Amino acid sequence: MTDVMSSAAELLGSRCRVLVTGGAGFIGGAVVRRLLNESEAIVFNLDKMGYASDLTSINQVLVSLGPEAADRHQLLKVDLCDAEAVAQSVKRADPDLVMHLAAESHVDRSISGPGVFIDSNVTGTYNLLQAVRLHYEGLPESRRGPFRLHHISTDEVFGSLGAHGRFEETTPYDPRSPYSASKAASDHLVNAWHHTFGLPVVLTNCSNNYGPWQFPEKLIPVVTLKAAAGEDIPLYGDGLNVRDWLYVEDHVDALLLAACKGESGRSYCVGGHGERTNREVVETICLQLDELKRSAAPHRDLIRRVTDRPGHDRRYAINPARISSELGWKPRHDVSTGFRETVRWYLDHQDWCSRVREQAHYDGGRLGTVT
């Protein structure tokens, strides 16, 4: 069993060139920071620098590591939809490991405009697979053994649970939003490239992540920022939908373990027993804000039930038994302390939130309703 606290350097072993796609996003950024902080690897960060991208956190790490680390982060500003540019990037990175996180990731946006989800998540993954396959076939024997393409996916591919049960690796796929359907398609492509062309791949399907540096369109930053500003807090439908929350750094632990120690062709479900209804999450954040930021009335008075998300999945929950028993993963943060730290972080970084929202031309308004 692998020690969950192993550093990135120990896990990477001989792999010294890592291609991370989507490294300017929320989870990819946490992966890049971990690789920079905990190893000597050169990190090639392929990202189209879309609306949710920002390099502030990576630049902070590079400054703290000093000038000799500057060359260890190489941004490749490339759209995965551009097959030729993807091929060139893979050639330039010459990777020992590929961690594929780049995707359009917001369910509400996939309802308002599904096309870009098909382009980025399906065609983009196809372009990456073709380029990586060529790269892998040209590798010398000594680099082939440890090589992996790690595809980072979501629990949403499994659909929607009732009151009981949890998703696991054998759960049939049943995606129900344009986002989850595009992610499911990409999972199938990755498995097909493994079985048909012998590409060594690992897949992970994780539950909802939370933590610092998430683009403020998802539930936790939206609620925190709106409540702090004294604005109405939108709770979709009856607020009883359940999500299984995991702190982003715990996800990064799981990703590095799966990428470096996972068995080729195998998938791992990742989740930290963090099930909460949306109403519980929103009320918890409001209580924390009552302590951190004085206001005339309790913040929960701002909660408003709004029209439900079309096709809103009722419940997600993960059984992480495989990654726990085979790779020794376990989460290091529990939801109550993780939420508290995260709420404080967004309160302390409201300037960053305003800046990235402005750059993205996003005013914090409701997305993903069907008229």
Catalytic (active-site) positions: 155-156, 179
User: Beta 275-277 vs 242-244: how paired, if at all?
Assistant: antiparallel
Residue with Cβ nearer ligand TDX (201 or 219): 219
Q: What CA–CA distance (Å, rounded) separates 31 from 8?
A: 10
Minimum Å gap between C-beta 342 and ligand NAD is 13
Q: Name the phi and psi angles at 330, rounded to 5.
A: -150, 150
Minimum Å gap between C-beta 282 and ligand TDX is 7
Minimum Å gap between C-beta 90 and ligand NAD is 13
Q: What CA–CA distance (Å, rounded) separates 100 from 88?
A: 16
Our finding on whether 235 is near ligand TDX (CB under 6 A) is yes
Q: Are 273 and 321 in contact (CB under 8 A)?
A: no
How many C-beta neighbours within 10 Å does residue 234 have?
19
Q: Which residues of 173-184 are buried (b: 16+ CB within 10 A; e: fewer)?
A: eebbbbbbbbbb
Our finding on whether 278 is near ligand TDX (CB under 6 A) is yes
Q: What CA–CA distance (Å, rounded) separates 270 from 167?
A: 10
Q: Are 4 and 329 in contact (CB under 8 A)?
A: yes
Minimum Å gap between C-beta 140 and ligand TDX is 36
| Residues lying near ligand NAD in the complex (CB under 6 A) | 22, 24-28, 47-50, 52-53, 79-81, 101-105, 120, 124, 152, 154, 183, 206, 208-209, 215
Closest residue by Cα to residue 298 from 314, 281, 286, 312: 286
Residue with Cβ nearer ligand NAD (295 or 319): 319
Query: Looking at beta carbons, which residue is closest to ligand NAD?
Result: 25
Considering CB under 6 A, how many residues would be counted as binding ligand TDX? 16
Residue with Cβ nearer ligand TDX (54 or 156): 156
Minimum Å gap between C-beta 205 and ligand TDX is 9
Q: Which partner in ligand TDX, ligand NAD, none is near 167 (CB below 5 to 8 A by kind)?
A: none
Our finding on whether 343 is near ligand TDX (CB under 6 A) is no
Our finding on whether 208 is near ligand TDX (CB under 6 A) is yes
With tokens 């196809």, the residue in question is 126
How many C-beta neighbours within 10 Å does residue 115 have?
10
Task: Give the residue, chosen from 58, 86, 219, 255, that forms a contact with ligand TDX under the rule CB under 6 A.
Answer: 219
Three-class secondary structure of residue 47 per DSSP: strand
User: Beta 148-154 vs 201-206: how paired, if at all?
Assistant: parallel
Our finding on whether 106 is near ligand TDX (CB under 6 A) is yes
Q: Of the ranges 125-133, 215-223, 322-330, 352-360, which one interacts with ligand TDX (CB under 6 A)?
A: 215-223
Both structure tokens of 175: 């995606």
Q: Sign of torsion, CA 47 61 132 199? A: negative
Task: Give the residue, chosen from 236, 268, 339, 346, that forms a contact with ligand TDX under the rule CB under 6 A.
Answer: 236
Q: Which partner in ligand NAD, ligand TDX, none is near 107 (CB below 5 to 8 A by kind)?
A: ligand TDX
Q: What CA–CA distance (Å, rounded) separates 105 from 115?
A: 13
Q: Which partner in ligand NAD, ligand TDX, none is near 222 (CB below 5 to 8 A by kind)?
A: ligand TDX
How many C-beta neighbours within 10 Å does residue 79 have?
17
Residue with Cβ nearer ligand NAD (299 or 315): 315
Our finding on whether 234 is near ligand TDX (CB under 6 A) is yes
Closest residue by Cα to residue 76 from 68, 84, 86: 86
Residue with Cβ nearer ligand TDX (127 or 204): 204
Both structure tokens of 200: 């060594």
Minimum Å gap between C-beta 123 and ligand NAD is 8
Contact set with ligand TDX (CB under 6 A): 105-107, 154, 156, 208, 218-219, 222, 234-236, 241, 243, 278, 309
